[in-house]
A and B are shown apart, each in its own frame.
Chain A
Amino acid sequence: MTPQARMLLWSAIRHIVLLAGALVMLTPFIWMVSTASKPQTEIFSSDLHLIPYHFALWDNLRIAFAKADLWRYLLNGLIVTTSIFGLQVLVALPAAYALAKLRFLGRDVLFALVVFCILIPPQATAIPVFLLLHKLGVLDSYAALVLPFTISVFGIFLMRQFFKTVPDDLIDAARMDGISEFGIVWRVMLPTAIPAVTAFGIFSVVAHWNDYFWPLIVLNSEHLQTPPLAVAHFRNNEAGTNYGPLMAAAMVIIAPLVIAFLFAQRRFIEGITLTGIK
Chain B
Amino acid sequence: MAEIEIRALRKAFDGAEVLKGVDLTIQDGEFISLVGPSGCGKSTLLRVIAGLEPQSSGEVRIDGVSADGVRPSARNLAMVFQSYALYPHLSVFDNIAVPLRMKRLSALERAPFVGRLMPGRRRAERVIRDDVERVAEQLEISPLLKRKPGQLSGGQRQRVAVGRAIVRQPRAFLFDEPLSNLDAKLRVHMRAEIAQLHRQLKTTFIYVTHDQAEAMTMSGRIAVMIGGELIQVGAPAAVYDDPCDIRVAEFVGTPKINAFPGRIRSDGRLEMLGHVLHMATPALEGECRICVRPERIELASHGLLSGTVVHLENLGSEAFVHIGCAGTDAPVVARVNDPSQLPAIGATIGYGFAPEAVRAFDADGKRIVTSLPSRVERPREMAVV
Residues of A in contact with B (beta carbons under 8 Å apart)? 167, 169-170, 172-179, 188, 191-192, 194, 272-278
Q: Is B148 an interface residue (CB 8 A)?
A: yes
- Across the interface, do A178 and B85 meet the contact criterion of CB distance under 8 Å? no
Q: Which of A173, A188, A191, A276 contacts B150 (CB 8 A)?
A: A276
B164 CB contacts on chain A under 8 angstroms: 173, 177
Give chain A nearest CB distance to B208 CB in angstroms.
13
- Across the interface, do A178 and B99 meet the contact criterion of CB distance under 8 Å? yes
Of B71-79, B261-269, B309-317, B343-351, the segment with at least 4 beta carbons within 8 Å of chain A is B71-79
Given contacts A172-B81, A176-B52, contact A188 B73 (CB under 8 A): no
Give chain A nearest CB distance to B136 CB in angstroms.
17
Of B86-94, B199-207, B364-372, the segment with at least 4 beta carbons within 8 Å of chain A is B86-94
Offer 19 A-B interface pairs, CB within 8 angstroms, sorted by A: A170-B85, A170-B87, A172-B47, A172-B52, A172-B72, A172-B79, A172-B81, A173-B79, A173-B81, A173-B85, A173-B164, A175-B73, A178-B73, A178-B99, A179-B98, A273-B88, A275-B150, A276-B89, A277-B84
B324 CB contacts on chain A under 8 angstroms: none
Give chain A nearest CB distance to B350 CB in angstroms.
51
A176 CB contacts on chain B under 8 angstroms: 50, 52, 72-73, 77-79, 99
Bound-state Cα–Cα, A275 to B88, Å: 7
Q: Which of B83, B86, B89, B152 contacts A272 (CB 8 A)?
A: B89
Bound-state Cα–Cα, A278 to B81, Å: 11
Bound-state Cα–Cα, A119 to B221, Å: 58
A194 CB contacts on chain B under 8 angstroms: 89
Give chain B nearest CB distance to A169 CB in angstroms.
4
Contact string, B83-118, partner A, CB cutoff 8 A, digits 1/0? Answer: 111111110000000110011000000000000000
Q: Which residue of B lies closest to A183 (CB)?
A: B102
Given contacts A176-B77, A178-B73, A275-B150, contact A169 B83 (CB under 8 A): yes
Give chain A nearest CB distance to B332 CB in angstroms.
41
Q: Which of B47, B81, B102 contacts A179 (CB 8 A)?
A: B102
For B77, B78, B79, B103, the residue with the greatest tally of chain A CB atoms inside 10 Å of its CB is B79
Q: Which of B73, B81, B90, B98 contacts A169 (CB 8 A)?
A: B81
Bound-state Cα–Cα, A177 to B72, Å: 8
Give chain B nearest CB distance to A51 CB in angstroms.
49
Bound-state Cα–Cα, A174 to B82, Å: 15
Contact string, B152-164, partner A, CB cutoff 8 A, digits 1/0? Answer: 1000010000001
Given contacts A179-B102, A191-B89, contact A169 B52 (CB under 8 A): no
Q: Is B243 an interface residue (CB 8 A)?
A: no
